Structure 1
């Protein structure tokens, strides 16, 4: 299977290019009267680079904690790129499958599933926590609401994590020894904190695009609205398995949540441009997939 890896990644890349081309041909991207502030390009690239590094570190931590495998940072970046490309194929699992192929014989299918499960649970958990904090600041800045929400989330984590693990135990009977590593508090905490950074840097990329193309000066309340809308939109799009990369679903939810903070035209422009930015950078990251020598750095 190892010799077919490049062809599989190339197929995912073509799928991503096809989706991007279809979005470019859509009438809702006819954007006019936009400003362009080159001053914001550097922070946009910087925040996105931090997002990629945080996602790569989270995957490295998940691999190390669940199956004891150590991979290089550049190899983890390639795995993140594979995951991002695969989401544009309906079903959401093809990127995970490609990532497993990239690991080759170093990790068996059950071990990759173990690391992926911990990663995805921590990703959703971190998104809920960050979204709750942003919502508390925007809707009611009372500190006790934030403290109460975080306390409930932390307290309930073992419950739904245990339910998820029992479900997987029924699906993969040979994973009993690996599931205890997924639920290890130290390992999970590290992956969780890494994903808090993932959500934060990804959302900050969105907040930078607004002043860059709309000329609107950012403030705390507006930034929190953008973080909340981005987290909720991506999470809902994640569960929309029928939509490649959550396209359409994510933008609709994000736009709806942004309406209290900005005009509908600005919300639509912002969400569409953010999608273009993500798709373009995800396609550029495919260089790590098609050039395996880079992943050995």
Structure 2
């Protein structure tokens, strides 16, 4: 496992370096030095990214609890760090498999139960993303009126149904593995639905912060950016062959970006987002692997 995470960390470094070169060496593109972003913009970017990860950890703990897996914050933090770095391992599936692999004895072991629940969480999350991306695309259209409220209500109801079917499927499979899962109540399904809707809306915030530093965005423009980025994130995640969705996410965003954003600007902003986001993943991954190693050695000594 250590070798795989070293490859993942190396992949992060390569992506950060390639993004930096693209931002400063490609002819005809805006340059970071020309833009001269204030340090506060970068601070806001990293703080918002950190908040997204914290929120993701909370949702992951709540989701796993529905299937009889209880995690303390320390273990859930390690889970998310392993997931963040593992997605840069070629094939990206390793991030899903490794999340949940840290057990109460501070050992990292891949089990079928953890893989099942982690995969189910990602399927559910992607389903939410499709609904949120569709809603944002409709909101960005002119004369949409009061569609936002109806879209949200319909999406939540659809997600509750989806969670019910997914829960039944997981229960059937988990019984074979003797996993102490219970059927998910309507209240918990509503909490999960609204939680993941909020997570997807937050996911676009770092990019909005970057572009908003040089553009004044109204609600319709922000919604259009969020719709393009949400769809790009989904495309990058579905492309399991691409480490971290590299290339797929960026190309999708450039194709789907609103017309008021030139393609050169779209390439610049999504590349800058990629560089900073991967840098955050790199730091997060190093901290996580360090904590996991320390906890494991401490458990051995005691």
Tell me if structure 2 keeps the 8 A contact 1:203–1:227: yes
Q: What do residues 97-117 of structure 1 show as CA deviations (whole Å, max 9, x unaligned)?
A: 222332366998343134314
Relative to structure 1, the CA distance from residue 68 to residue 84 in structure 2 (aligned partners, 3 Å threshold; closer, same or farther) is closer
Deviates most, 264-273 or 197-206: 197-206
Name the SS for the 1:291 alignment partner.
helix
State the shift of 1:248 in Å.
0.8
Tell me if structure 1 keeps the 8 A contact 2:231–2:252: yes
Confirm or deny that 1:80 pairs with 2:80: yes
* Structure 1 stretches lacking a partner, 5+ long: none
Relative to structure 1, the CA distance from residue 67 to residue 249 in structure 2 (aligned partners, 3 Å threshold; closer, same or farther) is same
* More helix by percentage: 1
Match of 2:113 in 1: 111
Name the SS for the 1:101 alignment partner.
coil
Q: What do residues 226-270 of structure 1 show as CA deviations (whole Å, max 9, x unaligned)?
A: 211111000011111121111111111111111423111111111
* Structure 2 stretches lacking a partner, 5+ long: none
Whole-Å separation in 2 of the counterparts to 1:288 and 1:119:
21
Confirm or deny that 1:17 pairs with 2:13: yes
State the shift of 1:143 in Å.
4.2
Match of 1:44 in 2: 45
Tell me if structure 2 keeps the 8 A contact 1:15–1:88: yes
Deviates most, 78-87 or 142-151: 142-151
Tell me if structure 2 keeps the 8 A contact 1:89–1:244: yes
Relative to structure 1, the CA distance from residue 180 to residue 75 in structure 2 (aligned partners, 3 Å threshold; closer, same or farther) is closer
Confirm or deny that 1:134 pairs with 2:136: yes
Tell me if structure 1 keeps the 8 A contact 2:56–2:199: yes
Deviates most, 133-142 or 7-16: 7-16
> Structure 2 length normalisation: TM-score?
0.80
Whole-Å separation in 2 of the counterparts to 1:282 and 1:199:
18
State the shift of 1:48 in Å.
1.4
Name the SS for the 1:67 alignment partner.
coil
> Structure 1 length normalisation: TM-score?
0.81
Tell me if structure 1 keeps the 8 A contact 2:84–2:281: yes
Q: What do residues 73-122 of structure 1 show as CA deviations (whole Å, max 9, x unaligned)?
A: x4323211211211112322211222233236699834313431442133
Match of 1:34 in 2: 35
Whole-Å separation in 2 of the counterparts to 1:104 and 1:12:
24
Whole-Å separation in 2 of the counterparts to 1:14 and 1:203:
26
Match of 1:225 in 2: 224
Name the SS for the 2:100 alignment partner.
helix
Relative to structure 1, the CA distance from residue 36 to residue 289 in structure 2 (aligned partners, 3 Å threshold; closer, same or farther) is same
Relative to structure 1, the CA distance from residue 155 to residue 243 in structure 2 (aligned partners, 3 Å threshold; closer, same or farther) is same
Tell me if structure 1 keeps the 8 A contact 2:68–2:181: no
State the shift of 1:24 in Å.
4.0
Relative to structure 1, the CA distance from residue 237 to residue 196 in structure 2 (aligned partners, 3 Å threshold; closer, same or farther) is same
RMSD over aligned CA atoms reads: 3.2
Whole-Å separation in 2 of the counterparts to 1:51 and 1:184:
26
Match of 1:91 in 2: 91
Deviates most, 21-30 or 227-236: 21-30
Tell me if structure 2 keeps the 8 A contact 1:165–1:179: no
